Amino acid sequence: MSEPWLISLETETPQAGWELAIKLSRMSVKATQPSDEVRGKLRAAYDQDTAQLIASSQVIATNFQTVAAANGWWR
């Protein structure tokens, strides 16, 4: 995680903010399990598991709160 990937929380549109929230969620999984190979294998298991899909949505929702606040809710 040495190369910079998070320069700013500001985005032009709500949708770009939403996509940033998804990126934050994925980067946090990567922080705990850095191996692309292992994550690739694991993905096959969890994207068919609704409990885990919902838990992933919870992480995205939490990160979207942060990004939306950072952008003054794009008002």
The site for a second copy (CB under 8 A) is made up of: 1, 4-10, 13-15, 18-19, 22, 24-25, 27-29, 31-33, 38, 42-43, 45-66, 68-70, 73-75
Residue 36 C-beta: closest distance to a second copy, Å? 13
H or E element in which residue 57 lies = helix 50-70
Give the closest residue to 30 by CA, choosing from 70, 3, 68, 49.
3
Residue 11 C-beta: closest distance to a second copy, Å? 11
Residue 4 C-beta: closest distance to a second copy, Å? 6
Asked whether 66 and 18 are in contact (CB, 8 A), the reply is no
